[in-house]
Structure 1
Amino acid sequence: MKRMMIAAVLLAVTSCKEAPKETLPEPEEGKMEMETPKKEYPEALTQVFDAHGGLENWKKKRTLTFTIPKPDAAEIHSIDLYGRRDKIEMPTTGMGFDGDDIWVLDPDNSYEGNPAVYHNLMFYFYAMPFVLADDGINYEEADALEFEGKSYPGIHISYDAGIGASPKDDYYLYYDQETHQMAWLGYTFTFGSNEKSEDVSYIRYADWMKIGDLMLPKILTWYTSDGRTIKEAKDPLPFENVSLGEVAKPDDFYQMPENAKVVQ
């Protein structure tokens, strides 16, 4: 568990981009369905969405919460799925996005990660494959991923210029060709850089749980790799107390606390 905690801290600095936010207007309050324009997706990606409960079911959800256990405490993550406001609650620190600013509450200066990256990092990994339906995304077929004698077909995801904090990032969704469930995510990390990267990291999505009518991850496992060759598994990262609701949290839930600071 100590290794898992260290790995999570390192992820906060080195693992992923801030993915694009929804561009649709946010409903005023309460339980509402998101009205979205019709968008065409590759057939393979639609089959993946359907294998996880369907994109239309996902769009009906307003609030996602989950807990990441840690040796000395836990992180409670809450996300507004329409406006993509978010909040992470920890025993002595916290961070979030209030719709305008990323903020961090760290009175003891004990947090060693990068709040600009970490405040929504785990949400984007956890909400796969549905976050790959966001606006400004381009899709094309990717070479299959081979692992332990099994071939996983792939979809390459890239971003339009100006989408998200690092639009030069690439994602690779790999799925089981029999069940169409997501099996792997490959991704590059270009936060703070204007250059493309060929260094791909891999996460295995092998353990799913049903939350209402949707399938969401129970455990994520990062792997070491050499180029496009996957090697050894790292410590698994579990997710607990997962809930999906159709009702928004009060607006002040995501507001920056009085003693917090804006992250530049």
Structure 2
Amino acid sequence: MKKVLLLLIVVITISCKNEPKKEVKESIKKEVVKKESFPEELGKVFEAHGGIDTWRNAEILSFKKGDEVHTVNLQSRINVINAPNYSVGFDGENVWLDEVEKGTFKGNPAFYHNLFFYFYAMPFVLADKGITYEKIAPLTVGGVSYPGYKMSFKSNIGSSPDDNYKLYYNPTTYQMEWLAYTATFMSKKPSDNFNIIKYGQWNNVNGLVLPTAITWYKKDENGVPTEPARPATVFTEAIINKNNLTDSFFSKPIK
């Protein structure tokens, strides 16, 4: 009986060894890498300013320009400007104005509510969706040749899709140095008249290298900047926080 049992165990063991092995399929998780739409050289500019991922993960940006406190939700782009005598904002649907006394705010709220956010958040806003890029001739100022790219918007992007920007960066550090731009909000027509701003004074705000001051320049007939057109616009008290603000913070106050 023992011999029969032993023989049976041997037969079962051999048959198990000869049985074809089942193929084990491992589920391989494929990592989807997002392909950026901007050129590689501009990617180096973004990297020199803290990196595009740092920018895209930021939530609330706040900074001061004079008496104005500008606060922007970087994910939704709703925003508000609070000053002692007025507030201007965009709640995601409407641009609004609230004044202590009518006529205190000088300007067009729809034009102004995110104007200085765009200037302050350079170069990162030039990685927004719907932008096309074109490499252009360098800008030579003071013997230094600054490589550049021209940015234009698709027709359904923003309130001024005919605006164009030209970003010029330092060939060594890759930080942006000059910004040329057209302003078509009022005319609603394309323009070849580029204003030009000097960048170069920077501050590290939670890993993002953002400007502390920008200066508008006069330019010659070839579009080359010559001298400051007016005193520098200064930005202070910049902060990047987690989003702990409700949407009502960006809404027009109820009176």
How many aligned positions are there?
Answer: 220
2:78/2:90 contact within 8 Å kept = yes
1:43 deviation in Å? 1.1
Is the partner of 2:159 in helix, strand or coil? coil
1:68 deviation in Å? 1.0
State yes or no: 1:215 paired with 2:212: no
Is the partner of 1:82 in helix, strand or coil? coil
Aligned residue in 1 for 2:61: 64
The residue type paired with residue 48 of structure 2 is A
- TM-score, normalization: structure 1? 0.80
1:258 deviation in Å? 1.8
Aligned residue in 2 for 1:76: 69
Is the partner of 2:54 in helix, strand or coil? helix
1:37 deviation in Å? 5.3
1:251 deviation in Å? 1.6
- The answer for unaligned runs of 5 or more in structure 2 is 1-32
Q: Distance in 1 between matches of 2:122 and 2:96?
A: 25
Aligned residue in 2 for 1:254: 250
2:152/2:164 contact within 8 Å kept = yes
Q: Distance in 2 between matches of 1:135 and 1:105?
A: 31
| Percent identity for Structure 1 against Structure 2 | 41
2:235 to 230, 239, 252: 239
Aligned residue in 2 for 1:183: 177
1:165/1:191 contact within 8 Å kept = yes
- The answer for unaligned runs of 5 or more in structure 1 is 1-35, 260-264
1:55 to 52, 55, 58: 52
Write out per-residue CA displacement over residues 56-109 of structure 1, whole angstroms, 9 at most, x where no aligned residue. Answer: 01111000000112xxxx100000001100000011111100111000012422
Change (3 A) 1:248 1:124: farther
The residue type paired with residue 52 of structure 2 is L
1:155 deviation in Å? 0.5
Aligned residue in 2 for 1:15: none
2:148/2:169 contact within 8 Å kept = yes
Aligned residue in 1 for 2:119: 125
Could you say which structure has the greater relative contact order, defined with CA pairs below 8 angstroms and 6 or more residues apart?
A: 1
4+ long deviations beyond 4 Å: none
State which structure, 1 or 2, has the greater radius of gyration over its C-alpha atoms.
Answer: 2
- TM-score, normalization: structure 2? 0.83
